[in-house]
Structure 1
Amino acid sequence: MASTARRMWTRFEPVHDVTYFAPEALAAADAIGMRGFWMGYVALRAAPLGAVGPAIATAAFHGFHPSRLERALPSAWDVADPTRALAARLEGVDAALRAVWGADVVESPQVTEAADLAWAAATAADTAGRVLAAANQALPRPDAPHLALWQATTTLREHRGDGHIAVLVARGISPLASHLIKVAADESDPTALQLGRRFTDDAWQAGLDDLRVAGVVDTDGRLTDTGRTLHDDVEAATDDAAEAPWQTLGPDATARLAELLTPLAAAVARSGMIPEPNPVGIVGLT
C-alpha cells in the first residue's frame, strides 16, 4: 500500500502542475516578456529565491544541465524582476484554474476548505535544507482560496522535491542518472526529458553506458533487479522524507484533504494538459 506522502503527492501534484502546462500560465509568462517556454519556466520557478543567477538555480532545481538555466538567467530579471514574475505566476494560475475547474468550483466552499487544510500542511512542512520549499513557504498567502490552495501545493511539491534531491545526492545519483533511471522505469519519455533538461546525445549515451556497467540497466535500457531495487529505495526514502506535513496535519484532516483534492486533480488530468508520460513522473493520470 502506498504511503500517505505518496498518495497525497498524486493528488496535489496535478493541481500544482498547471503552472507548467496550462496555456494560460504560459501566456502570463509571455505577457511579461519572457522569451519562450524555458525562460518563463526558469524565472517563475526561481522567483521565490530572488534574483539568483544560473548556478544557484541549477543547484536548487538539480535535474538540469547548467546550460539550460544559463540561457534564462540572469537575463530574465532584466525582463521582469522576481516580484513581477511571482505576480505573473499567480495570474497565470488564476486563469488556468478558472478554465479547468470553472467559476462555480473555484468559488466553492470545498475549494476554500481544501485551501485551509493544504495551507496548514504546507506551513507544517519542515524546510531545513530545503531551499525551494522554504522560499515558497515564506511567500504570503494569496487572498483567493483557489490561489492559496495552489500556493500550498507548490510549497508541498517543492518540499517533496527538495527531499528527493537529498535522497539522490546521498546515494551518489547524478541529475543525468536520475533521469535515465526514471526513463528505465517507464515513468517519463526519454526524448522529452533529454531535450528539456538539455543533455547532449553523447552525454545521455555515456550516462546510460555507466548505468549498464553498474548493473542498474540492461542492454535494452530497462531496469535490472539491481536497478529496480535502487529505484524503489529512492522512492521509498523520498516518501519517508515527505511524511512530516501529513503527520502534523493528522490522519482525519489529511484524509479530508485527499477527498477534496481528488476531483480537482482529476479535472486537471481530464483537461489533457499534462502529457503521459510526463517529466514530473506521475503515472496513470485519470
Structure 2
Amino acid sequence: MKGLLRGDGHGRAASDVSARSMWELAEPVHDLVYFTPEARQEADRAGMRGFWMGYVAMRAAPLGVVHASVVVSSFYVFHPDRVTRALPDAWRYATPSDMLAARERAVDLSMRRLFGEDVVRSARMAEAADLAWDAAAAADTAGRVLGGANQALNRPELPHVRLWQAATTLREHRGDGHVAVLVSRRVGPVQAMVLKAASGESDGAMLREGRKWDAATWQGAEADLWARGWIDDVGRLTPRGAAERDAIEAETDAAAEGPWRAVGRDATVRLAELLTPLARKVLASGVIPSGNPVGLTGAPRRDAGGAGSR
C-alpha cells in the first residue's frame, strides 16, 4: 500500500492490489462527502440543520424513509441518539431524493475544486469511473443493507460523480461486511472503536465524541477488552489483542474481495493506477481531519492514546 500511495505513481506496486489496498485508494474519494466545505454547503442548502443532520441524511438517503432504528443498525458504531437527533426530522426539510441530489452536487463541486477541471474532464477519469462502476455493480450485496441501497442507485452521468458513487457503493459494501465480522466475534460498536484506537490508527476522543458515546460507556468497553486480554492497562493492544484485530481485518478483507474477483486482476490493477493520484491528492489536501476518523493508513492522525472505528 505504501507503494501505491507514496511511490512514483507509475504502478510499480500495482501488482500488490488487494481488497484492502483498493479500499485505501477508494476511501479518500468517498470521504469527500463528509469533510469538504461543499458537503456542508449543499446539506445546508437542502435544508439540513447542522453538520450531523446533513451527515446522517446524506449517508442514509439511499435507504429511503426508513425507521431510525434501521439506520442505527446499519451505521453500527454511532450512538442511537446521534441518528435519532437527525431522523426522522431531516425528512421534514428534505426528501431522500433531495439529499441524494445534494450529495451529488457536493462531490461534483468538491472534486472540481480539488482535482481541477482538466483531471475531472480527462479520459483517465472516465476510465476510472467505468472500471469502478463495473466493480460496484458486481458486488454481492446479500445481507449488506447500505451496500445494496447504494448499488441500486442510478448511474450518474458525470464521470467523476460516477466514480464517487461507485467508490461509495464499494465502501459501504466493505463496511457492511466489517460489521458482520464484528458481530460474529462479539465486538460491539464501542468495543470496535476502542480496539481500533488502541492500535494507534485513530484518535479515541474524536471517535467517542463524534459518535456521541459518553465516557462511562467508553470506559466500560475498555474494561471489557481488558478482561478479554486484548488491551493493557494503558489502553494499548496486547499481543492477543493485536492478533484478534488482525483476524477481524483479514476476515473483512476476505469478505470484500468479491467485486475485484468479478472484474479480474487486469481491471483492478488499472483502477488502482488511476485512483492512486486522486487518493494522494485528497490525503495531501488536509481534507480528512487530523485524528483520522476513517482509519486510513496514510491519513493524518493525532498522538492518540487509545480507541477507534471504521
TM-score by length of 1: 0.98
Closer, same or farther in 2 for the Cα pair 1:3/1:171, shift >3 Å?
Answer: farther
Contact 1:126–1:244 (Cα < 8 Å) also in 2: yes
Q: Does residue 232 in structure 1 map to residue 261 in structure 2?
A: no
Between the aligned partners of 2:65 and 2:292, the Cα distance in structure 1 is 29
Given that 2:17 and 2:269 are in contact with CA atoms closer than 8 Å, whether structure 1 keeps it comes out as no
Q: Is 1:266–1:285's contact at 8 Å kept on the other side of the alignment?
A: no
> Contact conserved, 1:3 with 1:239, CA < 8 A, in 2?
no
Deviations 1:143-169 (A, max 9, x none): 000000000000000000000000001
Is 1:62 the counterpart of 2:80 in the alignment?
Answer: no
1:267 — aligned with what? 281
Cα distance, 1:108 vs structure 2: 0.3
Give, in whole Å, the separation in 2 of the partners of 1:123 and 1:82.
Answer: 22
- The answer (yes or no) to whether the contact 1:277–1:283 under 8 Å persists in 2 is no
Contact 1:276–1:283 (CA under 8 A) maintained in structure 2: no
1:219 to 218, 221, 233: 233
Q: Percent identity?
A: 56
Aligned to 2:35, which of 7, 21, 28? 21
Whether contact under 8 Å (1:188, 1:281) holds in the other structure is yes
CA deviations on 1:134-191 (whole Å, 9 max, x unpaired) are 0000000000000000000000000000000000011111000000001100111111
Find the counterpart in structure 2 of residue 201 from structure 1.
215
1:78 aligns with 2:92: yes
Aligned to 1:161: 175
Partners of 2:22 and 2:298 in 1: how far apart?
A: 15
Matches of 1:10 and 1:245, distance apart in 2: 15
Scaled by the length of structure 2, the TM-score of the pair is 0.90
Correspondence 1:137 to 2:145: no
Q: Give the match for residue 261 of structure 2.
A: 247
For the aligned residue pairs, the C-alpha RMSD in angstroms reads 1.2
Q: Could you give the per-residue CA deviations for residues 119-146 of structure 1, whole angstroms, max 9, x where no partner exists?
A: 0000000000000000000000000000
Pairing 1:8–2:42 present: no
Query: Could you list the runs of 5+ residues in structure 1 that have no partner in the other structure?
Result: none
Kindly state the Cα deviation for residue 3 of structure 1 after the two structures are TM-superposed: 6.3
Gap regions ≥5 residues in structure 2: 2-15, 301-310
What is the count of residue pairs matched by the alignment? Answer: 286
Rounded Cα–Cα distance in structure 1 between residues aligned with 2:101 and 2:232: 47
- The answer to whether the 8 Å contact 2:17/2:272 transfers is no
